[in-house]
Amino acid sequence: MLDSMIHSTLGKFLSTWTAASLMVLLFPSISIAGKKEQYQVNQGESKTTGQDKVAAKNKATGRPRLLVVGIFPPSFEKNVDPKVGMRLAGDLERELSSSSKLDLFPNKRVDAALTEIDPAQVAAKELNKISKEVDRGKKLLDDLKLEDAIAAFNAAIEGYKKNLVYMKDYTPLVQALLQLSVAYFRIGEDEKGQKYLTQVLCLNPDLTLKEGEFPEIFQRIFDQVKKKALQGPKGSINIASSPPFSEIYLNGKKRGVTPLLVRDLIKGRYFLRVDKQGYKPYNSEIEVGDKEGELVQVNLEPEPRVVKYNKKAVFKELGKFAANQNWGSEFKKKAGLTAGWLGIDFMVFGLMVVGDEYEMTTFLYRTSDGAMLALPTIKMDYQLLNAAIELYKLSEVISEKITFFPDNPPPLVKVKPIEKEFGMVVAPPPPNPVVTGPGTGSTGTGIVVPGGPGKGKIGTEKEWYQKWWVWTLIAVGAGAVAGAGVGTYFLLKPSPKPSASVNWPGP
């Protein structure tokens, strides 16, 4: 009996272990899901696309905001593949993202943050949302939830008023006002219902309701209000402006230029727009009442001259300035603009040259006053095997210098080319055959020239059968198969039948 239990238990354990091993092989992401989620949380950043002040602080943390602009080969350096700098800049960002002394603005977000947004596109999206709010109000009205319907229509009308300049015609506004009028009549507030019907007729005096579109009683009320408005006394307004000869738009339709007397207007509320090139447009709601030719004086404000920049082009220029080590007034101007658009307090620039190994000098730029600080040069082998530890040390230095940035940084010393033997970089023969790639090239004599032709990663590459993960997978797979076999054996092996012996007493 005990032997049978052991066989069964051991078989189940090995089967479970085998299944778990196969799960790891088939779904390796399961084991790192928690770490991945944690990394995504740590990488979170604000969605703010710009700030008015250069030294803007992150509102959530109060920490300075830093951008790694890039790591570039100087203009004189022809043996460093730019992809090496891109890789190292990304690795440096990952190290800085865990710092508690700063907030990192990821370089990959710069392009989206500097994309110019067309106000008309924004307005189109907003108008679409407003239209859905009107539809929601109609449903509430059909369900006799009148107070909620009134709130929805009022919200939609206010939204339309804010976007009138982007509306080709005011028909959506007219429809919302009609629905609002219906809602007020249905709750017994006839005075408000007539008020909004009058505004509808001010917007479109020729409006005729389609048969069956509204309740019959509302149709009769509309016809009565329209007859009274059209046959009753009219009003007029006299529109003047400074400067004169400004264009006048009344309810979205051009009426002429100032000064202008507009006659035969149904008494009620109108939307007035006065516009002139070089001045801020004037928008307002006005009331046309009993007073004949009431003066509306509009004083336009000059529109400040704004120099428009291609923001993405300005940001790309920063890399050129860095490559040429031109840290002068033009660089500071473009860096200041970029910092203002993105809300950046500090920028990091790296310059990489090559000798017997890679040498990278990093510069920390404070955007508030244009101060630049050179940080210690770090050295990395061609395979970048020590890059992780060097970049970690550099990230610690950057975090410290941001907190304690010197008042008077020492003068900058230009990065110079490293003397090379026979015009090439001499390096020890690699332990394994060199695979040429974007970051490396091989002369076949132990001389490694960064930036050589080919495909692959930076530095030497091992054959596939020499890589640790291949043998790890083989070992786990072999263990899984062996476990499956042993488990199957114990599960299928028949358990020994129980037996008993009886010793009878002898004669």
Q: What is the pLDDT of residues 227-269, one digit of tens each?
A: 888 888 888 899 999 999 999 999 888 999 989 999 888 888 8
Residues 244 and 292 in one domain: yes
Which tokens hold the place of 115? 């994309």
pLDDT at residue 290 above 90? no
Query: What are the C-alpha distances in Å from 265 to residues 138, 194, 199, 283, 357?
Result: 30, 17, 12, 19, 83
- Residue finishing a domain among 403, 429, 452: 403
Tens-place pLDDT, residues 134-164 = 999 999 999 999 999 999 999 999 999 988 8
Residue 256 lies in a domain: yes
Residue 369 lies in a domain: yes
Residue 410 lies in a domain: no
- At residue 387, the pLDDT reads 92
Residue 27 lies in a domain: no
Query: 295 - beta bridge partners?
Result: 238
Starting at the edge strand found earlier in the chain, the sheet holding 268-275 runs 253-257, 247-250, 268-275, 282-288
Cα 166 from chain centre: 25
- At residue 486, the pLDDT reads 62
pLDDT at residue 103 above 90? yes
Q: What is d(CA 466, CA 39) in angstroms, rounded to the nearest whole number? A: 30
pLDDT at residue 398 above 90? yes
DSSP secondary structure string for all residues of 199-248: HHHHH-TT--PPTTTS-HHHHHHHHHHHHHHHHS--EEEEEEEESSS-EE
CATH code where residue 277 lies: 2.60.40.1120
- At residue 213, the pLDDT reads 81
CB-CB contact of 243 with 276 (8 Å): yes
The residue type of 210 is: K
- At residue 44, the pLDDT reads 36
Residues 76 and 151 in one domain: no
- At residue 419, the pLDDT reads 72
- Does a cis peptide bond (omega within 30 degrees of 0) precede residue 430? no
Which among 339, 290, 353 is positioned nearest to 75, based on CA atoms? 353
Query: 437 - beta bridge partners?
Result: 440
Residues 263 and 288 in one domain: yes
- At residue 485, the pLDDT reads 66
Tens-place pLDDT, residues 158-209 = 999 988 888 888 899 999 999 999 999 999 999 999 999 999 999 899 888 8
Residues 314 and 291 in one domain: no
- At residue 496, the pLDDT reads 56
pLDDT at residue 370 above 90? yes
- At residue 153, the pLDDT reads 93
pLDDT band (50, 70, 90) for residue 427: very low
- Residue finishing a domain among 363, 385, 403: 403
Residues 227 and 239 in one domain: no
Tens-place pLDDT, residues 17-55 = 444 444 444 444 333 333 333 333 333 333 333 333 333
Other residues' Cβ atoms within 10 Å of the Cβ of residue 262: 19
In SS3 terms, 89-105 reads as HHHHHHHHCCCCCCEEC
Mean predicted confidence (pLDDT) in 347-375 = 93
CB-CB contact of 298 with 241 (8 Å): yes
Cα 342 from chain centre: 12
- At residue 183, the pLDDT reads 92
- At residue 497, the pLDDT reads 53
Residue 25 lies in a domain: no
Regarding pTM above 0.75, the answer is: no
Residue 499 lies in a domain: no
Residue 83 lies in a domain: yes
pLDDT at residue 327 above 90? yes
Higher pLDDT, 57 or 365: 365
In SS3 terms, 1-28 reads as CHHHHHHHHHHHHHHHHHHHHHHHHHCC
Q: What is d(CA 171, CA 120) in angstroms, rounded to the nearest whole number? A: 18
Residue 479 lies in a domain: no
pLDDT at residue 433 above 50? no
CB-CB contact of 73 with 82 (8 Å): yes
- Residue finishing a domain among 340, 372, 403: 403
**What percentage of the chain carries pLDDT values higher than 90?**
40
Residues 240 and 225 in one domain: no
Which among 12, 84, 54 is positioned nearest to 459, based on CA atoms? 84
The residue type of 437 is: G
pLDDT band (50, 70, 90) for residue 363: very high
Tens-place pLDDT, residues 302-321 = 987 767 788 999 999 999 99
- Does a cis peptide bond (omega within 30 degrees of 0) precede residue 243? yes
Residues 225 and 251 in one domain: no
Residues 193 and 99 in one domain: no
Mean predicted confidence (pLDDT) in 453-459 = 37
In SS3 terms, 293-351 reads as CEEEEEECCECCCCCCCCHHHHHHHHHHHHHCCCCCHHHHHHHHHHHHHHCCCEEEEEE
Q: In which element (H, E) is residue 374 found?
A: strand 371-374
Kind of pairing between the strands at 65-72 and 103-104:
parallel
Residues 180 and 279 in one domain: no
Structure letter (DSSP) for residue 364? E
Residues 294 and 268 in one domain: yes
pLDDT band (50, 70, 90) for residue 479: confident
Q: What is d(CA 480, CA 505) in angstroms, rounded to the nearest whole number? A: 54
Residues 356 and 268 in one domain: no
- At residue 26, the pLDDT reads 41
Kind of pairing between the strands at 282-288 and 235-242:
unpaired
* The CA-based dihedral angle spanning residues 180, 186, 192, 195, taken in that order and rounded to the nearest 10 degrees: 60
51: helix, coil or strand? Answer: coil
Among 143-152, 439-448, 459-468, whose mean pLDDT is lowest?
439-448
pLDDT at residue 422 above 90? no
Residues 94 and 181 in one domain: no
pLDDT at residue 346 above 90? yes
User: Whole domain around residue 202: which residue ranges?
Assistant: 119-231
pLDDT band (50, 70, 90) for residue 402: very high
CB-CB contact of 69 with 107 (8 Å): yes
CATH code where residue 361 lies: 3.40.50.10070
CB-CB contact of 97 with 39 (8 Å): no
Q: What is the mean pLDDT of the chain?
A: 77
Mark 346-380 as b/e (b = at least 16 C-beta within 10 Å).
Answer: bbbbbbbbbbebbbbbbbbbbbeeeebbbbeebeb
pLDDT band (50, 70, 90) for residue 461: very low
Higher pLDDT, 351 or 216: 351
Q: How many domains does the chain have?
A: 3
130: helix, coil or strand? Answer: helix
Contacts of 266 (CB under 8 A, 6+ apart): 198, 201, 202, 205, 229, 230, 234, 235, 288
CATH code where residue 187 lies: 1.25.40.10
pLDDT band (50, 70, 90) for residue 452: very low
pLDDT band (50, 70, 90) for residue 472: confident
CB-CB contact of 8 with 505 (8 Å): no
